[in-house]
Structure 1
Amino acid sequence: MTRHARNSTAGSVYTYHERKRDAKASGYGSHSARFSKDSVKGFDCCSLSLQPCRNPVVSLDGHLFDKEAILEYYLAKKKEISRNLKNFEKQKKRDENEINELKEAAHRSKVEKFVATERGENLPSDQASTSSLSNMSGQKAKELPSFWVPTMTPDAKKVILPKPDTAIYCPVSGKVLKIKDLIDVKFTLAPVEEKGKSLISREVRYLCAVTRDALSNSVPCVVLKTSDIGQGTVEEVRRRDLKQELDEREIASGDEERGIQTKYAKKSRTDYGRNIDADDPVEDDAELMAELQRIRAERAAESAKTEIEQQQEVERNRIENILCGNPLLNYTNKATKTDLRVKRRWDHDVVFKNCSRTESDKKTPQFINDCLRSEFHKKFMEKYIA
């Protein structure tokens, strides 16, 4: 066997494996890697904070948000829009003032020119009477050729602000976002396996309300929007012939495949959802701020309650360790049976037991600590060894 078969880098062709290995070692070129589970957002996590939602709401496009986070985002965007509108109005007013000043200056120059003409004064001609080939003639003669002089440095151009858009868009989908379109989500909690374990630390947090299956990123989830009965809804349903409508829809399905528009043409779910309650008033900032403050107060109270419970648990464990850790202190407790027998250092003290066969093995159980053991050893040594 030749040396060429043993060395994989001795070939005359730059193989695909070698190219990939060199690209990985050098750090240049295109690289591809598969994302792990940790890089994927959980199905119950907010799209803004990337943390499990406490008050989950979902948009019409299926993006989940925490109500506190989306309200903060919405109010921040409204403040930004109002600030941009004020700056735009200032710029517009400033431009109008500049235009008025230019008009006044032009009118003033015309009046001065007319007065000078009536007096018979010689006015400087706008154009030179004789042509000159020099590039420093006319107005250019007064300009300095030295561009580095501070007076010749160019001024910064005035920034023209565009008219701001008053619509607020979803941070994920980029579509128009409205608070009234957000749907509250009520998850079904999974049974608690370990008592005292927080909701965030659980692996399975929510279940399907119908099938009772564990929800995860691999399970498609659906949210049902609840609504109240409107005026005249019951009477409209009673007057409708649902069977006839179903037959007409089946007939119209073939027309839709052939490209014929019918009154039963399908509408997108998002458009249908946006048309619901279209006559609702515009969201009030005061109401949104009050809702945000209420959510913050509830979370602060919940955090304080959790902290108090943790402190009480720590104090209870400390007291329990003090009372139950030492059998002498807990000897009067009749509710729990206390065993004073402890495991000896040696296997039942075989040596000392064999030496004292005359003594009875059935003795009253007593607590043996290091002090008693040392006294016992002293008596044994004095009786049998000394």
Structure 2
Amino acid sequence: MTTAARPTWAPAKGGNEQGGTRIFGPSGKYSSRDLAAHTSLKPRKEGQQTQEELQKRNLRDELEERERKHYSSKDKSYVEDRDRRKSSSLLLEGSKRDAEDKIVAREIDADDSDMEPKSDDESDEDDDDDDTEALMAELERIKKERAEDKLRKERQQAEEEAKMKEAELMRGNPLINMNNSGSFNVKRRWDDDVVFKNQARGEIKTPKRFINDTIRSDFHRKFLHRYMK
């Protein structure tokens, strides 16, 4: 890459200062791209939904109003249903408030509450708790017995399978199982006495030869014998 188009910060001058022995201070020049830019954010102006304007607006009412206009343009019965639901919710809130106002607070002495005898319902609950604990204990005992039975059966089954496998291995080895009347000869193959086996065993194959002549080659002779006789 050529350096002809680059600016000369320290131009060469003739004389004693010519060459690389010239001493000069650091340059005070800098590029415009090194300057700080966009140092402040762009603030919102009035009418551009500033924070104060959003705090003054009721967004819920605006959303409901837009929904009402949208659904009312499609279905006219939506407005009636909405008004009916709103009135029913107001009635429910009023009835709940009246019921809460009618409730009379009753103070109960701590000593009186401690001295109250147990009712029949509480005694029945205690009996039910005892019965439940007994049933849970019985259930745990039954589960434990079933788990033990399952482990015992699995162990017995594994032992039986190991014995059967060992017996099969003993019967399969002819050197160990001498009671077998069979001989140690190798069995014949299934295709030893097939009729059409080794048909070309006695035929004499003519060796292939290479003749550098297209007229006297074996292929040409066979071709003439087949198609030109």
Same fold (TM over 0.5): no
Report TM bin, short chain: under 0.3
| Structure number having the greater helix percentage | 2
**Larger Rg computed on CA atoms:** 2
TM-score by length of 2: 0.27
Higher relative contact order (CA 8 A, sep 6+): 1
TM-score by length of 1: 0.17
